[in-house]
């Protein structure tokens, strides 16, 4: 059974044109086109019977595309997506993190791991984020906060608090406070 918040993360190199082609091949109906000037472009599709909604998300700040699927035929549509286009599962993202040789490769892998993590991956994802919170690169420590925001898991609040109290970079401590405020205001999963 798939996780209710599962995202289907597309492998690097997939373009918006590829997504249009996948949608066409899978007979999805376009419902809404996202604002191409936005940082996050969300296109909305439905299956032909209208019983399943598919959102394709081009998340430009983290350089990833992903899908979310809701509705009666959710599991079937997820399977079709996974057959139609290259995707990253949590294990793929963790492996990519281990192979990464540049900051950008590491950042993409961190975000892909957060977006693709399911409840079964919680402990491994939390361990990964705790380890990255100690990295010497402030961009990777900042990525921990971004990833935590995507996950929204209550057991990560203590990590965000630790970062807010101990990180040497003021901007990271500040962003930690903003994330904690969001969690307090809007809750966690």
Q: Is residue 50 part of a domain?
A: yes
Position 99 pLDDT exceeds 60: yes
Average confidence (pLDDT) over 52-70:
95
pLDDT band at 44 (very low <50, low <70, confident <90, very high): very high
- Do 146 and 109 belong together in one domain? yes
pLDDT reported for residue 5: 55
**Tens digit of each residue's pLDDT (9 = 90 or more) over 4-25:** 557 999 998 899 999 999 999 9
pLDDT band at 3 (very low <50, low <70, confident <90, very high): very low
- Do 110 and 159 belong together in one domain? yes
Phi-psi group of 152: left, alpha or beta (phi > 0 → left; psi -120 to 50 → alpha; rest → beta): left
Please state, in angstroms and rounded to a whole number, the distance separating the CA atoms of residues 10 and 24: 17
**Tens digit of each residue's pLDDT (9 = 90 or more) over 165-187:** 999 999 999 999 999 999 999 88
DSSP state of 57: E
Q: Is residue 36 part of a domain?
A: yes
Average confidence (pLDDT) over 38-54:
96
What CATH number is attached to the domain comprising 38? 3.30.310
* Token pair for 128: 């990964």
Entry pTM: 0.90
Range of the domain at 57: 8-88
- Do 137 and 165 belong together in one domain? yes
- Average pLDDT taken over every residue of the chain: 94
Q: Last residue of some domain: 88, 115, 143?
A: 88
DSSP 93-117: HHHHHHH--SHHHHHHHHHHHHHH-
Q: Last residue of some domain: 20, 54, 88?
A: 88
Q: Last residue of some domain: 88, 111, 143?
A: 88
Average confidence (pLDDT) over 30-58:
96
Burial of 157 (0-12, 13-18, 19+ CB in 10 A): middle
Q: Is residue 136 part of a domain?
A: yes
Strands 8-10 and 29-32: unpaired
- Do 78 and 98 belong together in one domain? no
Q: Is residue 1 part of a domain?
A: no
Please state, in angstroms and rounded to a whole number, the distance separating the CA atoms of residues 79 and 57: 18
Strands 64-71 and 87-88: unpaired
- Do 96 and 181 belong together in one domain? yes
pLDDT band at 139 (very low <50, low <70, confident <90, very high): very high
- Do 102 and 128 belong together in one domain? yes
If one counts the domains in the chain, the total is 2
Q: Is residue 73 part of a domain?
A: yes
Task: Return the beta strands (E) in the chain as ranges.
Answer: 8-10, 29-32, 40-46, 52-59, 64-71, 87-88
Q: Is residue 2 part of a domain?
A: no
């Amino acid at each position: 059974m798939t996780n209710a918040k599962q995202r289907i993360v597309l492998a690097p190199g997939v373009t918006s044109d590829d997504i249009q082609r996948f949608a066409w091949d899978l007979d999805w109906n376009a419902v809404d086109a996202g604002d191409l000037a936005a940082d996050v472009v969300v296109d909305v599709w439905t299956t032909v019977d209208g019983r399943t909604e598919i959102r394709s998300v081009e998340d430009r700040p983290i350089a990833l595309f992903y899908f979310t699927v809701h509705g009666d035929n959710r599991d079937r549509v997820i399977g079709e997506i996974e057959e139609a286009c290259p995707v990253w599962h949590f294990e793929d993202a963790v492996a990519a993190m281990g192979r990464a040789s540049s900051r950008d490769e590491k950042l993409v892998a961190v975000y892909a791991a957060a977006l693709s993590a399911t409840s079964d991956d919680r402990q491994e994802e939390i361990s990964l984020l705790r380890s990255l919170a100690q990295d010497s690169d402030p961009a990777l420590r900042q990525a921990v906060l971004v990833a935590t925001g995507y996950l929204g898991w209550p057991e990560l609040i203590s990590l965000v608090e630790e970062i807010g109290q101990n990180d040497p970079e003021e901007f990271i401590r500040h962003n930690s406070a903003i994330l904690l405020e969001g969690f307090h205001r809007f809750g966690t999963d």
